[in-house]
Structures are given as structure tokens and as C-alpha cells.
Chains A and B, each alone.
Chain A
Amino acid sequence: MEATAVSTATESRENYLNINYGWKSWLFTVDHKRIAILYLASITFFFFIGGAYAGAVRLELLTPAGDLVQADTYNRLFTMHGVFMVFLVLIPSIPATLGNFLLPLMIGAKDLAFPRINLLSWYIYMLGAACIVYAALAGGVDTGWTFYPPYSSIYSNSQVLAAGVGIFIAGFSSILTGLNFIVTVHTMRAPGMTWFRMPLFVWATYATSIIQILGTPVIAVTVLALALERLFHIGIFDPKMGGDPVLFQHLFWFYSHPAVYIMILPAMGVISELIANMTRKKIFGYKFVAFSSLAIAIFGFLVWGHHLFTSSQSVYAGIVFSILSYILGVPSAIKTFNWTATLYKGSMSYETPMLYAFGFLGLFVIGGMTGLFLAALGLDIHLHDTYFVVAHFHYIMVGGVLMGYLGGLHYWWPKISGKMYPEFWGRLSALFVFVGFNLTFFPQFLLGYMGMPRRYHAYPDDTLWQVLNVMSTAGASVLGVGYILPMLYFAWSMKYGKTASANPWPASGLEWQAASPPTTFNFDTTPVVTWEAYDFNHVKELKEGNSASPQEQTV
């Protein structure tokens, strides 16, 4: 009698997913967790569109000649790949999904400070996305995702305007998310949740939000100016009419360099959580990791000129930007060393999230170090606009960000869905992604170093170049499988996965004290925090106090 009561109680326990059904309950939700799911679904959709463009690019490069597509189509393919991936996938990826879902849970709040603005930001995102999809359907854009004038403002016969409007609109979604997060961290923390008790993911998200609110308005006004220039041809970026095209590059990179940190900082936050929790160890140098996020956010605004070493920027400015870029390596290095120190003598377990975290560490170090090559004034003259650059930023933006994103999705999937993903397939996907990624992008370092320029549909008929390009394309297929796998088994687990306990890993952090999946307002009573971040003794006490913990983990 009692047993059945208990089991039905766990079966039909009310949570944010089953509280109501139907499309209206999703499209008009103000629950941060449901909005995170809306973002997750839309970002996944655009990710596969962007991936399809990348697939076409890689297919064309299988052979030296342009036999699949010609230059004009190829330009549109790589541009749309970049536009979809940067503005609709990578920028919102972790903040809008994991950040939205976890931020209130991690600080013990019922929701974000402005739930309706949160929903509004998703609609704005979808409106921007609609413009970009229109641009894609109406023929695409051929300027490269950087939209440099005067080509983009005068000569290009492609959908620059529609894509620009889409980026302008989507930017406001990013701004509103950042604004919401900043206010939430300042005002919604539970009693006892001091700044230095916050999980490092919250610190990283907070730092990201600073970049979002300060950087995104600049790209918005820049794209606006570009759109007006294209519409009315006023001459603001046209050298023939006294305008300055390099001004566009300055404004563009003032946002777009920090935008890389909008992508990577949240991933770093995820990795901090994964490493501390999967080693069951207090993170080494908590304050250093926390402040390095802020340092990256602030100093990230001072290095944009390293994209203009070959664009008529003065050599003296170049020297300053080069030095600052090197200095910016320091906070990233601090994080990496602290993560490694945390791994040392930790009681590690090798579930999927940890495998992704290891993958992140390897790829991020390579991506970061090659960034220093490009920040060196002299070497950049050789490497500028070659595949070396392409490989470098993919190591950061795909190897780093997507590894963190996928690792985080696996780690928090029990919390998000209430179900466990299949561990075997999870590990397999991590392996596929890691191997596929390196096979795709490592050859590109070599190609770039040998002088293969980016953005060309054809290359000289050279055996070594073709071998490396074939390797890259083969790797892209493996990578594609690695990305499709999680989508399939996550969907599968929603129905057939093992039911997850509140804290399956077990891990520290308030989000693991809420039910899996949480109720609409996250906590039955507002939690009072009396322990430090990553205090695993406290987790143990919780476990012992809670006899109903169903899943025991070998530690």
C-alpha cells in the first residue's frame, strides 16, 4: 500500500515538464527552464543547417578543381555556414540553454529576474533567425561572415541586407539575455549565497553577460550603418566618397573579438563544473578561476586590432594590440593550470561529461597556443587569411565551445530531462567528436602553414594538399556522426532512459538539490546556503541524510 503510494508519487510528481502540455504552454511560458528548452531546440535546428553548409564546403574541397560548385556558390556556402554558426548557434549556445536553465537553479532563485523579457529574447532570436533563413533561401550571402565593405555595401549581389537585419535583431536577444543574467546574479541569490560561494559557471556566465551587454550594441549600430550604406549609398564606408572601410573593420572586431569570449567563457564555466564535480574535489584556486573570467571579459575588449595587422593599421597600434593579445593569454592559462591542478589526485570517474572535458582541455590548449602564433605581428603576415586561421578558430569555437556545450548537456541532462542518457553511446559520441574534430582541423594547420588561403573553392593540384584536404573532409564526416549521435540518444532517453535521481553523479551545487526535473519554481523552499562552492563533504552529508537516493556511484 505504502510502496505503491510512493512509486506513484515519484511517477507523477509534478515538474516543469509535465505541469502542462500543448504548444501554448511552451510558446507562452515564462519558466526559464522551458525557455532554455525552446532555445535548445532552435539552436540544434540551426546547428544542423550550418553543419550542412560546412558539409558542402568540405565536399567541394575533396578535389583541387572546382567541380561540385563554382566560386560564387562556394562563397555563399561558407558565408552562410559562418552566419548560421556564429550568430544563431555559438553566440547563444551555452548562455541561452544551459545558462538559462541553470543560473537560477545554481543561485537558489525561482526564476531569472525578468521572466517575460527572457521569453521576449527567444522571440527576438527567432525573428532574427527568420531574416537569416530568408537570406539563405533567397540565394544566400557571399561576403564572408565578416561583411567587409565596400564589397558588402556596394558590389555584392547577394542578400546582405536581409542577413544584416537578422544579425541586428538577433543581437538584441543576446543583449536581453545578458541583461537578465546580470540583474539575476546581483539580486536573486538565495540567502547565504555570497559571490564567492557561487559556482564558477555562474561567474563565467556573469562575465559573458558583461561582454554581451557592452559589445553587442556596437555590432548592432555597425550593421545598421552598413545597411544604410547599402540602401542609400551615403559613403560612410566608401573610400571613393571619403568614407573609411577600415572603420567598419575596427567596429566589427570591437564586437567580434569579444564575441569569441561570449562563446568560450560559458564553455570554460561548464568545464570548471565538470572537472570539479567529476573529480569530487574542490576546484584549485577558485578565486583565480572566477576573476580570470572577469579579466577575460574586460581585457577581451582591448585586442580587436590583432585582426587588422594587414589592414592599413599603424604598426605601432599593431605592436600594442599584439602585446595585449599575448597578455590576454594569461587568464586563459590560469584557468587551464587550475583545471589541471584540480585533476591531480582527484577521485576521477570517466563518464561522458568528463571525456568531453578532457577533449576540451586538449583542443583548447592547441587552439589557444596557435592563437599566439597569429597574435605575433610578423608571423601573422604569413598566416593571415590562410587555413591556419580557420583551423585556429575552429579549435576554439568548435573544439572548445561545442565540447563544453556537449559535455554540459550530458552532465545536466539528468536534471533537464529527469532521465539518464545511455553511457556507452555517450562515450562513443565523445570519442567520435574528438577524433573527427582533430582529423578535420589538424590538417588545416598544415595547409595554412603551407600557404593555402581560406575562402577559395579550388586549390593547386598538389598531392600533399589534396591528401590533407581529403583527411579534413573524412574527419568532418566522423564529426558529423559524433554530433548526430547525442541528438538521437537524448531524444531516445526522454522515453526509454533510466529515471535519474536528484543527484546522480553525485555533484555539488544547488541545482542538484532540486528534483530531477525540477518543479516550475525550482525549490519547494528557498534554500539557505551555509557551505562553500564544491564542498563535497556537504554533498556526502546530503546523500547520507537522504535514504531515498536511488543511484549509487562508484567513486
Chain B
Amino acid sequence: MAESHTIKHHPALKHHFDTMEQQREAGTIGMWVFLLTEIMFFGGLFLAYIIYRAKYPAGFEAASNTLDVYLGGFNTVVLILSSLTMAMSVYCAQTGKQKMLIVYLVLTLILGSVFLGVKAVEYEHKFEHHLFPAVGFYDWTHEPGHDPQLADQARIFLWLYFAMTGLHALHMVVGAGMLLVLIYFAWRGKYSPEYHAPIELGGLYWHFVDIVWIFLFPLLYLLGFHLGGH
């Protein structure tokens, strides 16, 4: 009896669950529900974007052209690659390839850090050019040949740019922290084909954050690109 008991209960099984399957399912549904709340959280900003974009097309176009589409594009590629390595690490966890699991997790972490580094460079450019909407914003209305309305409109665009990409970057930082924890436990050999739910859940989160960027990139960077270019 005692033997069958130990066979049945995986060490990672928490006391209030009956089976590993139930525990895994709870984790998965929990993550999906969490991602739903995330969609609604970003949704408020997307709504604000849509409304002001429709209201102020000219200001949005002008402000969008101040963004560096090449850095943004580079970051998009980096993030898509990181999604690939994340998917590979889930695959390795499922098939019990312990070493490759760690390699792919570390690769994902590196790609995520590259993204954040590039983002920091972009933010710095904005500060230098006084395009940060809150402090020391450069008032365009003083320049000749500019519509005085445009400064306000551009400020709203840049506010949305910083709010949306800032929140996204915050999610990336959280994701990087999560990867560190996953790498630590993977290195300790905690994950196996029987138990790798944290890797799967981490993967879901990481892909979600990537998908948010897939929407942000065209809305923010490509908006003015096809109209004026650099």
C-alpha cells in the first residue's frame, strides 16, 4: 500500500490536488485566465490609441516618424526568435532533453535582454531629443511651418508610445526574472517529461508578451513609415 502511494504521488504534487494531471490543468487554465486579464489591461491603452489615432491622424503620423523603425524592426526579429527558442525549450522539457532545455532557456533570456537593451537605447534617444512627453517636452509650436495643434497631438502619441512599450518592457523584465528561476530549476534537474508544467506556463507567458509586441510594432512604428519615411 505504502509503495503504491509513493508511486502515485509525484514529489511536485501539491497536497490539495489529487493527480498531477489535475494540477497541470489548473496551472494551464490559470495562466490562460491571467493572459485574458492582460489582454484587457493592454486593451484600455489600445482603445485610447484607436480613438486618438482616428482623431489626430496628422499628429500621429508626424510623431510616429520620430521613432526608429530599423531598431524597432530589429527588436521584432529578436523577439520572434526568442519565441522560437522558448518553444524549443518546451519541446526539450517534454522530451526530457535536459541539457538542451537549459541551452534554449538561456538563449531565450539572452534574446530578451537584447530586446530590452535596444529598447533602452531608443528611450535614451527620445530623452535626448526632448520627446519624452512628461518632462522637458520640446514644444514644436515655436518652430516655423508647424501646426500649433501638432505638438499636443504628438505628445498624446508619444505618451501612448511610452505607456504601451513601457508596460510591454515591464512584462519583458518580469519574463526575464521568470526565465532565471526556470533556468535555476532546470539546472537542478527538477523538470522531466512527467513534470514540466512551469516551463509550459512560462512559454505561454513569453509568447503572449511577444504577441503584444507584434501588435505594437506596426501601430507605433510603421504608422508613419509608409507615408513619409525617414
Q: Determine, out of B40-48, B111-119, B173-181, the stretch whose residues face the partner at the interface.
A: B40-48
With a CB–CB cut-off of 8 A, which chain A residues contact B59?
Answer: 242
Smallest CB gap from A216: residue in B: B37
CA distance A287 to B94 in the complex (A): 41
CA distance A217 to B35 in the complex (A): 11
With a CB–CB cut-off of 8 A, which chain A residues contact B51?
Answer: 244, 247
* A115-B16 CB under 8 A given contacts A213-B36, A217-B40: yes
CA distance A52 to B133 in the complex (A): 42
CA distance A310 to B100 in the complex (A): 62
Q: B152 at the A/B interface (Cβ < 8 Å)?
A: yes
Within B206-226, the residues touching A (CB, 8 Å) are none
Q: Determine, out of A228-236, A332-340, A499-507, the stretch whose residues face the partner at the interface.
A: A228-236
Question: When the two chains form their complex, are residues A113 and B30 in contact, meaning their CB atoms are under 8 A apart?
Answer: yes
With a CB–CB cut-off of 8 A, which chain B residues contact A111?
Answer: 16
Question: When the two chains form their complex, are residues A182 and B37 in contact, meaning their CB atoms are under 8 A apart?
Answer: no
Identify whether the interface residues of A are mostly helix, strand, loop, or mixed.
Answer: helix
Flag B25-42 by CB within 8 Å of A: 1 or 0 each. 110011001101110111
Within A201-229, the residues touching B (CB, 8 Å) are 213-218, 220-222, 225, 228
How far in angstroms is the closest Cβ of chain A from B61? Answer: 15
Partner of A236, one of B15, B25, B33, B159: B159
Question: When the two chains form their complex, are residues B133 and A232 in contact, meaning their CB atoms are under 8 A apart?
Answer: yes
Identify whether the interface residues of B are mostly helix, strand, loop, or mixed.
Answer: helix
Q: B1 at the A/B interface (Cβ < 8 Å)?
A: no
Question: When the two chains form their complex, are residues B159 and A251 in contact, meaning their CB atoms are under 8 A apart?
Answer: no
Partner of A234, one of B40, B44, B47, B155: B155
Question: When the two chains form their complex, are residues A109 and B37 in contact, meaning their CB atoms are under 8 A apart?
Answer: no
* A228-B163 CB under 8 A given contacts A179-B33, A217-B38: yes
CA distance A214 to B36 in the complex (A): 7
Q: B153 at the A/B interface (Cβ < 8 Å)?
A: yes
With a CB–CB cut-off of 8 A, which chain B residues contact A188?
Answer: 16, 22, 26
CA distance A112 to B44 in the complex (A): 30
How many A residues, CB 8 Å from partner?
Answer: 41
Partner of B44, one of A184, A187, A251: A251
* A175-B37 CB under 8 A given contacts A225-B48, A241-B152, A526-B18: yes
Question: When the two chains form their complex, are residues A241 and B155 in contact, meaning their CB atoms are under 8 A apart?
Answer: yes
Q: B90 at the A/B interface (Cβ < 8 Å)?
A: no
Question: When the two chains form their complex, are residues B133 and A183 in contact, meaning their CB atoms are under 8 A apart?
Answer: no
Q: A280 at the A/B interface (Cβ < 8 Å)?
A: no
How far in angstroms is the closest Cβ of chain B from A101? Answer: 15
With a CB–CB cut-off of 8 A, which chain A residues contact B135?
Answer: 232
With a CB–CB cut-off of 8 A, which chain A residues contact B25?
Answer: 186-187
Question: When the two chains form their complex, are residues A110 and B15 in contact, meaning their CB atoms are under 8 A apart?
Answer: yes
Question: When the two chains form their complex, are residues A110 and B16 in contact, meaning their CB atoms are under 8 A apart?
Answer: yes
Smallest CB gap from B24: residue in A: A187
Q: A521 at the A/B interface (Cβ < 8 Å)?
A: yes
CA distance A184 to B17 in the complex (A): 11
Question: When the two chains form their complex, are residues A235 and B156 in contact, meaning their CB atoms are under 8 A apart?
Answer: yes
With a CB–CB cut-off of 8 A, which chain B residues contact A215?
Answer: 40
Question: When the two chains form their complex, are residues A218 and B26 in contact, meaning their CB atoms are under 8 A apart?
Answer: no
How far in angstroms is the closest Cβ of chain B from A109? Answer: 7
* A183-B30 CB under 8 A given contacts A234-B155, A242-B152, A251-B44: yes
Question: When the two chains form their complex, are residues A220 and B133 in contact, meaning their CB atoms are under 8 A apart?
Answer: no
* A236-B156 CB under 8 A given contacts A179-B33, A216-B37: yes
Question: When the two chains form their complex, are residues A213 and B37 in contact, meaning their CB atoms are under 8 A apart?
Answer: yes
With a CB–CB cut-off of 8 A, which chain A residues contact B95?
Answer: none
CA distance A236 to B16 in the complex (A): 47
With a CB–CB cut-off of 8 A, which chain A residues contact B55?
Answer: 244
CA distance A233 to B43 in the complex (A): 22
* A220-B26 CB under 8 A given contacts A225-B163, A235-B155, A242-B156: no
Question: When the two chains form their complex, are residues B155 and A218 in contact, meaning their CB atoms are under 8 A apart?
Answer: no
Question: When the two chains form their complex, are residues A214 and B37 in contact, meaning their CB atoms are under 8 A apart?
Answer: yes
Smallest CB gap from A31: residue in B: B16
Flag B140-164 by CB within 8 Å of A: 1 or 0 each. 0000000001001101100100010
Q: B91 at the A/B interface (Cβ < 8 Å)?
A: no
Question: When the two chains form their complex, are residues A521 and B30 in contact, meaning their CB atoms are under 8 A apart?
Answer: no
CA distance A547 to B183 in the complex (A): 58
Flag A173-201 by CB within 8 Å of B: 1 or 0 each. 00100011011101110000000000000
* A187-B26 CB under 8 A given contacts A175-B37, A242-B156: yes
With a CB–CB cut-off of 8 A, which chain B residues contact A242?
Answer: 56, 59, 149, 152-153, 155-156
Question: When the two chains form their complex, are residues A247 and B133 in contact, meaning their CB atoms are under 8 A apart?
Answer: no
Q: A243 at the A/B interface (Cβ < 8 Å)?
A: yes
Question: When the two chains form their complex, are residues A234 and B26 in contact, meaning their CB atoms are under 8 A apart?
Answer: no
Q: B227 at the A/B interface (Cβ < 8 Å)?
A: no
Q: B134 at the A/B interface (Cβ < 8 Å)?
A: yes
Smallest CB gap from B42: residue in A: A221
CA distance A241 to B34 in the complex (A): 35
- Can you list 10 A-B pairs, Cβ within 8 angstroms, ordered by A? A183-B26, A183-B30, A217-B41, A217-B44, A221-B43, A233-B134, A234-B133, A235-B152, A247-B48, A526-B18
In the complex, given contacts A183-B26, A187-B26, A218-B40, what are 14 additional A-B residue pairs having Cβ atoms less than 8 angstroms apart?
A112-B16, A113-B26, A114-B26, A180-B30, A183-B30, A186-B29, A187-B22, A188-B16, A214-B37, A217-B38, A222-B44, A236-B156, A242-B59, A521-B15
Q: Chain B interface (Cβ within 8 Å of chain A)?
A: 15-16, 18, 22, 25-26, 29-30, 33-34, 36-38, 40-45, 47-48, 51-52, 55-56, 59, 133-135, 149, 152-153, 155-156, 159, 163
Closest 10 CB pairs of A and B: A232-B134, A242-B152, A217-B41, A221-B44, A217-B40, A111-B16, A110-B16, A113-B26, A187-B26, A183-B30
